[in-house]
Protein backbone atom coordinates (compact mmCIF):
# COMPACT_ATOMS: atom_id res chain seq x y z
CA UNK A 1 0.00 0.00 0.00
CA UNK A 2 1.26 3.47 -0.91
CA UNK A 3 1.84 5.95 1.89
CA UNK A 4 -0.61 8.88 2.07
CA UNK A 5 -0.83 12.34 3.56
CA UNK A 6 -1.29 12.03 7.30
CA UNK A 7 0.57 8.71 7.54
CA UNK A 8 3.61 8.24 9.75
CA UNK A 9 6.74 7.20 7.87
CA UNK A 10 7.66 3.56 8.41
CA UNK A 11 10.72 2.67 10.47
CA UNK A 12 13.62 1.94 8.14
CA UNK A 13 17.34 2.58 7.99
CA UNK A 14 19.19 4.81 5.55
CA UNK A 15 22.94 5.14 5.05
CA UNK A 16 24.76 8.45 4.74
CA UNK A 17 28.32 9.09 3.68
CA UNK A 18 30.35 10.91 6.32
CA UNK A 19 34.00 11.85 6.73
CA UNK A 20 34.35 8.56 8.64
CA UNK A 21 32.68 6.51 5.90
CA UNK A 22 29.12 5.16 5.64
CA UNK A 23 26.93 5.55 8.72
CA UNK A 24 23.48 4.12 9.44
CA UNK A 25 20.61 6.53 10.11
CA UNK A 26 17.33 5.36 11.65
CA UNK A 27 14.39 7.03 9.93
CA UNK A 28 12.53 7.45 13.23
CA UNK A 29 15.43 9.49 14.64
CA UNK A 30 16.12 11.41 11.43
CA UNK A 31 12.58 12.76 10.97
CA UNK A 32 11.72 13.28 14.66
CA UNK A 33 10.93 16.79 15.81
CA UNK A 34 11.54 18.66 12.58
CA UNK A 35 10.26 19.46 9.11
CA UNK A 36 12.07 17.70 6.28
CA UNK A 37 11.64 18.28 2.54
CA UNK A 38 12.33 14.77 1.20
CA UNK A 39 12.60 13.93 -2.46
CA UNK A 40 13.30 10.65 -4.20
CA UNK A 41 15.06 10.14 -7.51
CA UNK A 42 15.27 6.93 -9.57
CA UNK A 43 19.06 7.16 -9.57
CA UNK A 44 22.06 9.34 -8.95
CA UNK A 45 23.81 10.64 -12.06
CA UNK A 46 20.77 9.92 -14.26
CA UNK A 47 19.75 12.67 -16.71
CA UNK A 48 16.66 14.33 -15.18
CA UNK A 49 17.86 13.70 -11.64
CA UNK A 50 21.22 15.38 -12.28
CA UNK A 51 20.13 18.15 -14.64
CA UNK A 52 16.90 19.26 -12.93
CA UNK A 53 15.74 17.48 -9.78
CA UNK A 54 18.75 17.76 -7.44
CA UNK A 55 19.87 21.17 -8.81
CA UNK A 56 16.41 22.60 -8.12
CA UNK A 57 16.64 21.69 -4.45
CA UNK A 58 20.20 23.00 -4.22
CA UNK A 59 19.16 26.31 -5.83
CA UNK A 60 16.04 26.68 -3.66
CA UNK A 61 17.56 25.48 -0.36
CA UNK A 62 17.49 28.89 1.32
CA UNK A 63 13.93 29.60 0.16
CA UNK A 64 12.73 26.24 1.49
CA UNK A 65 14.42 26.86 4.83
CA UNK A 66 12.93 30.36 5.01
CA UNK A 67 9.49 28.71 4.74
CA UNK A 68 10.10 26.42 7.72
CA UNK A 69 12.01 23.46 6.32
CA UNK A 70 14.71 22.33 8.75
CA UNK A 71 16.44 19.96 6.36
CA UNK A 72 16.32 18.94 2.71
CA UNK A 73 17.03 15.29 1.98
CA UNK A 74 17.32 13.20 -1.16
CA UNK A 75 16.86 9.45 -1.24
CA UNK A 76 17.59 6.95 -3.99
CA UNK A 77 18.04 3.22 -4.34
CA UNK A 78 21.80 3.69 -4.65
CA UNK A 79 24.58 3.00 -2.18
CA UNK A 80 26.06 5.69 0.08
CA UNK A 81 29.28 5.83 -1.95
CA UNK A 82 27.40 6.72 -5.14
CA UNK A 83 25.19 9.28 -3.40
CA UNK A 84 28.24 10.77 -1.68
CA UNK A 85 30.03 11.19 -5.02
CA UNK A 86 26.89 12.63 -6.61
CA UNK A 87 26.49 15.12 -3.78
CA UNK A 88 30.08 16.31 -4.18
CA UNK A 89 29.89 16.57 -7.97
CA UNK A 90 26.60 18.50 -7.81
CA UNK A 91 27.68 20.88 -5.04
CA UNK A 92 24.94 19.61 -2.73
CA UNK A 93 27.09 19.33 0.39
CA UNK A 94 25.62 21.35 3.30
CA UNK A 95 22.42 21.96 1.30
CA UNK A 96 20.92 18.50 0.65
CA UNK A 97 21.48 15.43 2.81
CA UNK A 98 21.80 12.20 0.83
CA UNK A 99 19.94 9.24 2.34
CA UNK A 100 21.00 6.07 0.58
CA UNK A 101 18.29 3.41 0.35
CA UNK A 102 20.67 0.81 -1.06
CA UNK A 103 18.35 -2.17 -0.85
CA UNK A 104 15.19 -0.19 -1.54
CA UNK A 105 13.76 -0.88 1.91
CA UNK A 106 12.36 2.66 2.31
CA UNK A 107 10.92 2.75 -1.22
CA UNK A 108 9.21 -0.60 -0.59
CA UNK A 109 7.96 0.43 2.85
CA UNK A 110 6.27 3.57 1.47
CA UNK A 111 4.92 1.67 -1.56
CA UNK A 112 6.71 3.86 -4.10
CA UNK A 113 8.87 1.47 -6.11
CA UNK A 114 9.31 1.19 -9.85
CA UNK A 115 10.86 -1.34 -12.19
CA UNK A 116 13.79 0.20 -14.05
CA UNK A 117 14.82 -3.12 -15.64
CA UNK A 118 14.27 -1.93 -19.21
CA UNK A 119 16.96 0.70 -18.49
CA UNK A 120 19.29 -1.79 -16.79
CA UNK A 121 18.55 -0.28 -13.37
CA UNK A 122 16.40 -2.97 -11.70
CA UNK A 123 14.05 -2.10 -8.84
CA UNK A 124 14.19 1.58 -7.84
CA UNK A 125 12.26 4.22 -5.97
CA UNK A 126 9.81 6.34 -7.94
CA UNK A 127 10.32 10.06 -8.44
CA UNK A 128 8.42 11.82 -5.66
CA UNK A 129 8.66 14.46 -2.97
CA UNK A 130 7.09 14.85 0.43
CA UNK A 131 7.06 17.26 3.31
CA UNK A 132 7.52 15.34 6.53
CA UNK A 133 6.68 17.00 9.85
CA UNK A 134 7.87 15.11 12.93
CA UNK A 135 7.75 11.82 11.01
CA UNK A 136 4.29 12.39 9.48
CA UNK A 137 3.69 13.05 5.79
CA UNK A 138 1.99 16.45 5.42
CA UNK A 139 2.36 16.68 1.61
CA UNK A 140 2.99 13.91 -0.93
CA UNK A 141 3.77 14.48 -4.61
CA UNK A 142 4.23 11.40 -6.79
CA UNK A 143 5.21 11.81 -10.43
CA UNK A 144 3.61 9.91 -13.28
CA UNK A 145 6.16 7.66 -15.03
CA UNK A 146 8.62 9.76 -17.03
CA UNK A 147 7.32 13.08 -15.67
CA UNK A 148 9.07 15.78 -13.66
CA UNK A 149 6.58 18.35 -12.36
CA UNK A 150 5.07 17.81 -8.91
CA UNK A 151 8.23 16.58 -7.17
CA UNK A 152 10.25 19.72 -7.93
CA UNK A 153 11.54 22.24 -5.41
CA UNK A 154 9.40 24.95 -7.03
CA UNK A 155 6.23 22.89 -6.59
CA UNK A 156 7.13 22.18 -2.98
CA UNK A 157 7.72 25.86 -2.28
CA UNK A 158 4.13 26.56 -3.35
CA UNK A 159 2.91 23.99 -0.82
CA UNK A 160 4.65 25.61 2.15
In a domain, 34, yes or no: yes
Domain that holds residue 127: 22-159
Catalytic hit among 17, 36, 38, 49: 49
In a domain, 57, yes or no: yes
Give the C-alpha separation, 131 to 140, whole Å.
7
49 is catalytic: yes
In a domain, 140, yes or no: yes
**What is the reported pLDDT for 146?**
86
Encode pLDDT of 76-130 as tens digits: 999 999 999 999 999 998 999 999 999 999 999 999 998 888 887 778 899 999 9
Where residue 118 sits, what CATH number does that domain have?
3.40.30.10
Q: Is the pTM of this model over 0.75?
A: yes
Quick check: helix, strand or coil at residue 17?
A: strand
Please give the C-alpha separations between residue 123 and each of 78, 94, 98, 102, 119, in angstroms, as whole numbers: 11, 29, 19, 11, 10
| Number of independent structural domains in the chain | 1
Amino acid sequence: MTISKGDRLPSTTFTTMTANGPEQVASDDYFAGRTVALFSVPGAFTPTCSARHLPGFIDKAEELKAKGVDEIACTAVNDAFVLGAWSQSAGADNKVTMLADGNGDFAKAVGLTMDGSKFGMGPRGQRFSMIVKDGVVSELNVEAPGDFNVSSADYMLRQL
